[in-house]
Amino acid sequence: MTATRLWQDIGAGDNLLTKLLRFVFMAAAAVVFYFLAVLPLSWPQQAVCGLLTLLMAMALSRSSDSYLVTLTLMIMSMFCTFRYGYWRVSQTVQFFRDPANHWGALDAFFILCLVGAEFYAFVILFLGYFQTIWPLRRAPVALPDDEHEWPHIDVLIPTYNEPLDVVRYTALGALNMDWPADKLHIYILDDGRRKEFEEFAFEAGIGYKIRGDNKHAKAGNINAALKLLDSPYVAIFDCDHVPTRSFLQMTMGWFLRDGKLAMLQTPHHFYSPDPFERNLGQFRIIPNEGELFYGIVQDGNDFWNATFFCGSCAVLRREALDEIGGIAVETVTEDAHTSLRMQMNGWGTAYINIPQAAGLATERLSAHVGQRIRWARGMIQILRTDNPLFAPGLKFPQRLCYFNAMMHFMYAIPRLIFLTAPLIYLILSHTNVPGYWAAILAYALPHLILSNVTNSRVQGEHRHSFWNEIYETVLSPYILLPTVMALINPKLGKFNVTAKGGVVRRTFFDTKIAQPFLILLLFNIAGLLVAIPRYFVWDRDRPGTVLMNCLWSVFNIIILGVTTAVAREMKQLRTTVRIAIITPVMAALPDGSAVEGETIDMSSGGTSIRLLEPVELAPQSEILLGFPMPSGTQELRATVVASEGEVLRVKFENLSIAEQEVLTMVLYSRADSWLGWGESRESDNVLRSLTRIFTISMHGLVSTAKSLFTPRKKTKKKPARVPAPTSALLAIAALLTLPGARMHAQHPFAQNGQQPPPATPAAATPAGQFRDTFSIGDTGSSQIDMHGVDSTTSVYFTLPQTHVPRSVKIHVSYAFSPALLPDISHIKLMLNGTLFATIRPTPDGTGRSKGEVTESEFAIPAELMVHHNALTMEFIGHYTLMCEDPANTTLWARVHRNTYFDIQGDLLPLADDLKQLPLPFLDPAVVQPLSLPVIFAAPPDTKSVQAAGIVTSYFGMISEGRPVRFPVHIGELPAGNAIIISDSSSNLPAGLNMAAGTSPI
């Protein structure tokens, strides 16, 4: 026997001995754990034991950031949770066995429901600890130096009804990834089959693919394209996820190293706020809802070789995809189902936690809820069709990771039980938790506090304390039925596309989405009111029980107060998201000079620049911006919006494809675009997070009460005339409504270079009247595609308060699916709930010919038009008279975004009274850039300039996100509304005084 062989045998013996010792230690630890967890103690003894455990845990947590301490806290948390759970079950059994407890069927039902909800919470807590016990933090692997060894890659960008302005930057970002051009193949997969997308793809040099139907939605779209492609690797991006230039270089190295790697996922990063962040004002202050999954859970999954495919920002090996028959189509979460099937076949998956693409979060809470409903239903469908606990080919950790991800979406029933459990006792007088109140607290509090402290340590960077309760509370009423129905029948439900890239024209309380929260809130408040007589009269001998349930209800009210605050949709005027980007820029001015500077923030619509020296540029001036790139300086045309000393604000419009590529590379495609995004956030602290939630909740409750109980102000048709004042106020602005002045209500809606339909020139509109023309695209809506046998969508717009319409017309551009039966298919047009027109297909079913747009004009009764308006379109589509599939999504009707309104009417006169402000200059409800001239009768002195500053500051503050300009005139009067600054001791020039028609105030 050689020395080497002898050493190997000794090593093998040591390895066997080590395993044996490890097994003995684990078995002994489990016995001790169980013995201590079930040890019976009186409630004072348990209170002391729990307090000591908490103090020990707090001391450990503060002593070190070591991961060994984190693991110790996990074990202590599981111990307290297991001890509480064992006590709860034993107390429940004892309660039912004791004949002295006169319990009924309802008591048993309520008690068992709460025990079941708690058991679910315990299982999810333990599985969560297991899943994230050791986040892998995988690093990228370098590619071979020889580019000839780099493989061909197909990049797929599926789209359905998203606007081109969203998709174009993803396509251009993919086109500019650092990869050999002859090995990079970009394709837009357009299930909407839109002509403008085909034209853009042709102009940009990008592949464009369509199919004859929309079967299996996104999964079917990708599978149809895969049949026509043959590259060994496929990268998939949602159409709003723009990749950085380094995406492939960061991901492909692992595929070349590991031949059994089927999929590598990167995070979904969002550069716009989701509804929670936007409506609660917490953007970049707290982590968003999805960050827990991409920040810690996926890294934990990677340790167990259980990384999920998330549908975008990922690369897949074609061989593995072909082996399982392509993207899974049996469920609406085709992504996770696909990775599960690949791992069932023995393939591996991986995760690199470095943001290499970024996209748009959902704007409205209703859209966010709809997206989560799809996710929840799809995960339960997978649980039914390919249950990971029993699926072949998986290892035990993989089974637990997938099972936890699917069972997580069953939280609706437990969460609703927790929100109503104290009411069982307070309102219904039934038992919810059997046992003495002090014993309940002695056992429950260590479990609750330690689980929060431990989760804060494990997840705090990616999910702040107590926000999980808020997210689950918002979604629970809505995912309850879809998950239960999917559990019963996994074939129910269909794929829904999540709307992105919209705006919210006005702040409003979404009463419809908030209804479940309001009902739960009222019940919990009612429980507190009932607790008063219960404490002093009915249950005077059980004050502790009453107070314990009151505290529970108070906590529920705090959580529900935040959910109602989320339902208050805050105004979002920008159609493009501003991103704080600081990058060098050289501005080439119209006079030929150049000034260096750096960007302050930037969007696809424009940028703010801080220059090294002040400049004075007239609005609408054309300049060139030079951005340094690896390939050299790239130039971008821009139009000046405002020049304020060293700060220059410009907009981008009518950019060529080459310029759009430059903008994409500067804005989205830098390798470090999204690194360090959350570094400015404060770390989680349990008490600080609870305080923040309490503050938000109080504001939410107050604003909700105002929204529900404060009557809306009605627009006055004929405001009372107020005599014009005659006394002069020294150094105060004269706010004058000049003859012939009018407010342009909707023309300024035109953005991104799109112009509204032709309108009658202002000079042709008689004094005291108005004419507004604006398209539904101007209101922020994209092309409206309606599918199925019954589909409804609405467009919201606002009419200025000073406008009284007399004539209202709508010019509709539309098209119908060729398969429709014209006699029983139509589009109903309703304004504010009242039907005013019905559009039917022509007998050939297409309008004129297949895919061609038809135009029609309809008159709308002027009395239907109010201040805030909703244009609702309802599509009824049928392709057969009998045996029709109601889930058929191939039927469609389309209303194009160039559909426009033509509104004419009278302008209400305004009294010469400062209480009318900000009218006539600005209607806060209407999205309108503000350009308000400031007129000085003579060269201004210091007091006049101060007065102008006061007034313009007022308008600057109330203009919110609108662009604002205050052009200055001396001794001349422009047309329209104006601010006139005049001293009481000075006289206005004769022409100016006559034009004004009144003395300065």
pLDDT in tens, 38-69: 888 899 999 999 999 999 999 998 888 888 99
Distance CA 256, CA 146 (A): 13
User: ω into residue 920 within 30 of 0, thus cis?
Assistant: yes
Q: Catalytic site residues?
A: 191, 335
Give the C-alpha distances (Å, rounded to integers) separating 559 from 105, 420, 455, 517.
31, 13, 19, 10
Q: Determine what percent of the chain is predicted with pLDDT higher than 70.
A: 84
Distance CA 74, CA 454 (A): 6
The phi and psi torsions of 998 (rounded to 5 degrees) equal -160, 165
pLDDT at position 683, please?
83
pLDDT at position 154, please?
97
pLDDT of 571 strictly over 70: no
- The top-scoring range by mean pLDDT among 31-40, 316-325, 589-598, 836-845 is 316-325
Q: Per mean pLDDT, which range of 140-144, 154-158, 437-441, 964-968 is the poorest?
A: 964-968
Distance CA 160, CA 812 (A): 22
Residue 541 burial (10 A CB sphere; 0-12, 13-18, 19+): exposed
Q: Per mean pLDDT, which range of 133-137, 534-538, 819-823, 848-852 is the poorest?
A: 848-852
640-654 average pLDDT score: 90
Distance CA 475, CA 481 (A): 11
Distance CA 367, CA 895 (A): 20
pLDDT at position 492, please?
64
pLDDT of 979 strictly over 60: yes
Closest to 450 measured CA to CA, from 51, 76, 71, 41: 76
Question: pLDDT tens-digit profile of 722-780?
Answer: 333 333 322 333 333 333 333 333 333 333 333 344 444 444 567 778 888 888 877 76
pLDDT at position 846, please?
41
Distance CA 967, CA 498 (A): 43
366-370 average pLDDT score: 85
950 vs 859, higher pLDDT: 859
920-942 average pLDDT score: 73
DSSP at 749: G
The phi and psi torsions of 581 (rounded to 5 degrees) equal -125, 125
pLDDT bucket at 328, cuts 50 / 70 / 90? very high
Give the C-alpha distances (Å, rounded to integers) separating 316 from 18, 144, 162, 312, 908.
39, 19, 24, 11, 63
Question: pLDDT tens-digit profile of 541-566?
Answer: 899 999 999 999 999 999 999 999 99
Question: pLDDT tens-digit profile of 817-836?
Answer: 877 777 778 898 988 878 88
665-673 average pLDDT score: 88
What's the mean pLDDT when you consider all of the chain? 83
pLDDT of 987 strictly over 80: no
pLDDT at position 609, please?
94
pLDDT bucket at 925, cuts 50 / 70 / 90? low
712 vs 587, higher pLDDT: 587
Give residue 854's Cα distance to chain centre.
35
pLDDT bucket at 507, cuts 50 / 70 / 90? low
pLDDT at position 847, please?
39
pLDDT of 996 strictly over 60: no
868 vs 76, higher pLDDT: 76
Indicate the pTM of the whole model. Answer: 0.71
CB 310, CB 265: distance < 8 Å: yes
Residue 262 burial (10 A CB sphere; 0-12, 13-18, 19+): buried
Distance CA 326, CA 347 (A): 14
pLDDT bucket at 880, cuts 50 / 70 / 90? low
pLDDT bucket at 890, cuts 50 / 70 / 90? low
Residue whose tokens read 């290499």 = 356
CB 740, CB 997: distance < 8 Å: no
CB 381, CB 332: distance < 8 Å: yes
pLDDT at position 915, please?
64
- The top-scoring range by mean pLDDT among 26-35, 755-764, 787-796, 985-994 is 26-35
pLDDT at position 705, please?
84
- The top-scoring range by mean pLDDT among 390-404, 571-585, 666-680, 854-868 is 390-404
pLDDT at position 952, please?
82
Residue whose tokens read 């009372």 = 720
Q: Rounded to 5 degrees, what angle do the CA atoms 484, 488, 490 make?
A: 95
pLDDT at position 7, please?
40
- Going through 165-273 in order, the beta strands assigned E by DSSP cover 184-190, 207-209, 233-236, 242-243, 261-265, 269-270
Q: Per mean pLDDT, which range of 83-92, 274-283, 654-663, 956-965 is the poorest?
A: 956-965
pLDDT at position 940, please?
82
pLDDT of 224 strictly over 90: yes
Q: Which element (helix H / strand E) includes 1000?
A: none
